[in-house]
Amino acid sequence: VRDALNSALDEEMKRDEKVFLLGEEVAQYDGAYKVSRGLLDKYGDQRVIDTPITESGFAGLAVGAAMAGLKPICEFMTFNFSMQAIDQVINSAAKSFYMSGGLVKVPIVFRGPNGAAAGVAAQHSQCFAAWYGHCPGLKVVSPFSSEDCRGLLKAAIRDPNPVVVLENELMYGTAFPVSDEAMSEDFVVEIGKCKVERSGKHVTLVSHSKPVGQCLEAEQLATEGIDCEVINLRSIRPLDIETIEKSVMKTNHLVSVEGGWPMFGVGSEICAQIMEGPAFDYLDAPAIRVTGADIPMPYAQVLEDGALPGVQDIILSVKKTLHIE
pLDDT digits (tens, 9 = 90+) for 38-90: 999 999 999 999 999 999 999 999 999 999 999 999 999 999 999 999 999 99
- CA distances for 289 relative to 34, 204, 207, 269, angstroms: 34, 12, 10, 11
Ranges of each domain in the chain? 1-183, 195-322
Helices (H), 109-160: 129-133, 146-158
Confidence at 186, pLDDT banded by 50, 70, 90: very high
CB atoms within 10 A of CB 118: 11
Q: Does domain 1-183 have CATH number 3.40.50.970?
A: yes
Confidence at 295, pLDDT banded by 50, 70, 90: very high
Say yes or no: do domains 1-183 and 195-322 share a fold: yes
Q: Which residue of the set 25, 124, 134, 197 is catalytic?
A: 124
pTM, rounded to two decimals: 0.97
Q: Do 232 and 197 form a contact (C-beta atoms < 8 A)?
A: yes
Confidence at 325, pLDDT banded by 50, 70, 90: confident
Q: Determine the Cα–Cα distance for residues 290 and 206; give it in Å rounded to an integer.
A: 10
The number of C-alpha atoms within 13 Å of 301 and in the hemisphere containing its C-beta is 1
Q: Which residue of the set 11, 12, 24, 55 is catalytic?
A: 55
Q: Do 188 and 235 form a contact (C-beta atoms < 8 A)?
A: no
219 has pLDDT over 90:
no
Q: Determine the Cα–Cα distance for residues 197 and 242; give it in Å rounded to an integer.
A: 16
Catalytic annotation present for 134: no
Catalytic annotation present for 276: no
Contacts of 276 (CB under 8 A, 6+ apart): none
Give Dmax over CA atoms of the chain in angstroms.
61
CB atoms within 10 A of CB 123: 12
Q: Which CATH number fits domain 195-322: 3.10.180.10, 3.10.150.10, 3.60.15.10, 3.40.50.920?
A: 3.40.50.920
